[in-house]
Amino acid sequence: MARPGRPAMPKPVLSPFVDSFLDMLTSEKGAAMNTRHAYWRDLADVSLYLRDQCKTDVDRATPDDLRAYLRDLGQKVHTKGTRKATIAVRTVARRLSALRQFYRYLVSENVRKDDPTSAIESPKQGRTLPKTLAEIEVGSLIKTAATQGGPESVRLVCLLEMLYATGLRVSELVGLPMSAIGDGSEFLMVAGKGGRERMVPLTESAQKALSAYLAVRGQFVSLEDKSRQAQWLFPSRTSDSGHLTRQRFAQLLKDLARAAGLDSDRVSPHILRHAFATHLLSNGADLRAVQKMLGHADIATTQIYTHIVGDKLRKTVSEAHPLGKTGTDL
């Protein structure tokens, strides 16, 4: 979005092969619109650099052109041992991953005979565990939201309860249609990545929060544009989509965290998704069940949460167990 008083910057015109690649992601692989936008941003950044610095376009780039781009990208944040450096490594890895998929597509379509990324090594990344919140912190967020009063408060409690009860991706949560609510509001039918549909149960507290919210939901629907908003569980009068946006929900969480006395940098919809998974596993839930509720295609993605639970258990033993304190062997 452009700043007030400034015209919106026009989108760069990219190679037509970028458009056909993005169309393939959507039509053949079922990529969500957010995924498509992310690939577009990555390929646009590469394209603009190559045009300016290498006088070529992304579909004609050589391995040396791409190495120059990745080197420049990595040097933008070069201070070792800082969080920014970690972010830089992840960014380079993500851009390279997007390029690999793009060039594989070009080879499969006989646009190119070679994949210029095949000789480029991915940057080494240390294992970064997902950030999460303690159960008492999640409870504090819900309690604080409930004390604010009014329909906005009721909606926010519902959003929190449903997110913590289901572990939905934020785009899945805010984009829920009314038809997603199952019989008796006991579960949700969620259309996830790649068009995969899954059934996710709701806890009793989430069901109560949903019931309370449905009683005030009409106050978020504009009578002038009711048809566009009525299909969504969380409608919005101001968004182009007709439903609450990811960005607005994230901002509401930041404000709520500050009101609850928590560090707002530690609170986001995705961190609540992490909390859902780690708290389930730490209380004995089956890994496969958590995988299904999160909508992970590969259980290896879910297994990273076991490292958090493992660290927690080791810490508990070392601090609370008598043998953990003395180091006595049996």
Q: Which residues are catalytic?
A: 169, 193, 270, 273, 296, 305
Return the structure tokens found at 296.
């992970």
User: What is the enclosing helix (H) or strand (E) of 191?
Assistant: strand 187-191
3-state SS of 56-105?
CCHHHCCHHHHHHHHHHHHHCCCCCCCHHHHHHHHHHHHHHHHHHHHHHH
Return the structure tokens found at 104.
């594989």
**CA dist., res. 297 & res. 304, Å (int):** 14
User: What is the enclosing helix (H) or strand (E) of 197?
Assistant: strand 197-201
Return the structure tokens found at 5.
């008083």
- List, as own/partner pairs, every contact residues 55-58 make where C-beta atoms lie below 8 angstroms and the sequence separation is at least 24, other chains included: 57/15, 58/14, 58/15, 58/17, 58/18, 58/102
Q: Are 91 and 78 in contact (CB under 8 A)?
A: no
Give backbone dihedrals phi and psi of 110, rounded to 5 degrees, phi first: 60, 25
**CA dist., res. 31 & res. 25, Å (int):** 5
Q: Which residue has tokens 């420049």?
A: 72
Return the structure tokens found at 220.
């978020």
What's the Rg (C-alpha) of the chain?
23
Number of neighbours of residue 247 by Cβ within 10 angstroms: 12
First to last CA, the chain: 64
DSSP 160-206: HHHHHHH---HHHHHT-BGGGB-GGGSEEEEE-GGG-EEEEE--HHH
